[in-house]
Amino acid sequence: MQEQKINRYWKEIINTMNDGLMVVSPDGTVLMVNQGFEKITGYSREELIGRSCAMLNCDTCATARSAGKSQWCDLFEQGAATRRPCLLMRKDGSYVHTLKNAAILRDEAGLVLGAVETLTDISELDKRDEKIQHLSKLIDTAGDFQGLVGKSPRMQQVFELTQKAAQSEAPVIIYGESGTGKELVAHAIHALGQRREGPFITCNCAALNEALLESELFGHVKGAFTGAYVHRQGRFEAAHRGDIFLDEIGDIPPAIQIKLLRVLESKQFERVGDHRPIAADVRIITATHRDLESLVSEGRFREDLFFRINVIPIHLPPLRERLEDLPLLVDHFRTRLRQRSGKPISGLTREALQIFLDHPWPGNVRELQGALEYAFVVAESGLIGPSHLPPKLSSQALSPGTPPEGRALPDCDEKTALINALRQTGGNQSQAAALLGVTRVTVWHRMKKYGIDVHKLVTA
């Protein structure tokens, strides 16, 4: 086919492109677009032709219509643009991530006729990269149930409730101390739920001040405030048709609580600096280590927001209250650390395991993982002993028969003293621990050791 014949079919040719193509005049008027451009922007050809390309509100387009500038856009001064990231605002107000290439069109005499731009939609690549990054964070903690490890009755209850919550669209709130695995539960709900093919977006509400948190959650438009040089897509917009996980929800400021309540009630939000509402087809999962009911009674957390997010509560127990899972967790982390480091470490000595059982684990599973990572740095092979543990733990390696607090036991034997203490306190383990001068964890461990059933003991 000759070139002249090809030129007759150039419109059909460019309409086969997936990339968007646009031709503009030197003053920025749109002269032509292909079907790919219509698909990316959401505008029809009729809505674009004859209007300024500024209607697309590209965050990287540096318009140069000012005194002393002869050209409308600095593209005409630079002559070309290659693989320039561009965040376009579509007709429905949503953003689309693109890569832009542009070149100047000149006639035979070198006079500028206009410019041609092509846009490649990379939003799906962004979503894929985000999901890969999140899965990479979680891969080190893959375990029995969607990354969570445990055989204790309390953890089995958590697993069962998590599965049921995943089948619902109702808001879920996860309560638990720091390091108990709240994000893993949130990810399990997403992975098992109806929105698993959609995005899973996370935000730590305690990590940002009010202004930054509002922009992070809802996005902002260019020029909304000092320093807003480009458009920013918020987490809610990024989570469209997926799940959003708001960690440390108890720390959000009152002004953001109002905006979040509106999202829950109307399923809409507005970007900072913009008045157009945007639909939020998002399932909300929250988490906190705080007592929200106490915050409500103190006036620090909105009661209406509390009732909105507290629909399906899931309570994660601290590690000290499920010590029967500790050997499983130790073996789980040891296996992964051995694969990563290549060191032939086979387990813990009895002394090291006893230290682990007596430690209160204020940092929970995260602290346990850190302690084992430390031990793998110090130890070379064989079993991990007290000398391989972090100083805070190794200092607890006390002489046999001495409780972790360093106090002497009563004159009677350990089992009898425990039984007497439990009877005196009506089976209250915390009060029994206070009588014995040990921790509640130690009381629990000794009850397991001697097979003491509190209910039978008290009723007898």
Q: Read off φ and ψ for residue 204, nearest 5 degrees.
A: -90, 110
What are the φ and ψ backbone dihedral angles of 83, each rounded to 5 degrees? 45, 50
Please state the domain extents for the chain: 3-121, 126-317, 320-394, 414-459
Please give the Cα distance from 453 to 363 (Å, whole number).
29
Q: For the chain, what percent of residues have pLDDT higher than 70?
A: 83
CATH number of 3-121: 3.30.450.20
Contact between 182 and 286 under an 8 Å Cβ cutoff? The reply is: no
* pLDDT bucket at 161, cuts 50 / 70 / 90: very high
Determine the pLDDT at residue 60. 65
pLDDT for the residue numbered 448: 78
The CATH number of 320-394 is 1.10.8.60
- On whether the CB atoms of residues 366 and 186 are closer than 8 A, the answer is no
pLDDT at 291: 93
Cβ-proximal residues to 119 (8 Å cutoff; 6+ apart), any chain:
19, 20, 21, 22, 36, 37, 40, 86, 88, 98, 99, 100
**What pLDDT shows up at residue 399?**
38
The amino acid sitting at 415 is K
Task: Report the mean per-residue pLDDT for the chain.
Answer: 83
Rounded to an integer, what is the distance from CA 92 to the centroid of its chain? 27
Q: What is the mean pLDDT of residues 75-101?
A: 78
Question: What is the pLDDT averaged over residues 255-280?
Answer: 91
Confidence band of 146 (pLDDT split at 50, 70, 90): confident
Determine the residue type at 242.
Answer: G
Average pLDDT over residues 429-451: 77
Q: 189-247 pLDDT, tens per residue?
A: 999 999 999 999 999 998 888 888 999 999 888 877 777 777 788 999 999 999 999 99
What was the pLDDT predicted at 329? 93
Considering only CA atoms, give the Rg of the chain. Answer: 31
Grade residue 127 by pLDDT with cuts at 50, 70 and 90. Answer: low
| Residue 231 Ramachandran class (φ > 0 left, ψ -120 to 50 alpha, else beta) | beta
Is the confidence at residue 404, as pLDDT, over 60?
Answer: no
314-370: per-residue pLDDT in tens?
999 999 999 999 999 999 999 889 988 988 898 899 889 889 998 999 999 999 999
Residue of higher predicted confidence among 414 and 206: 206
- CATH match of 126-317 with 3.90.1150.180: no
Rounded alpha-carbon distances, angstroms, from residue 362 to 109, 199, 213: 77, 32, 28
- Find the largest Cα–Cα distance for the chain: 108
Structure tokens given for 280: 């939020």
The reply to whether domains 3-121 and 320-394 share a CATH topology is no
Section 32-61 average pLDDT = 87
The pLDDT, as a whole number, for residue 408 is 40
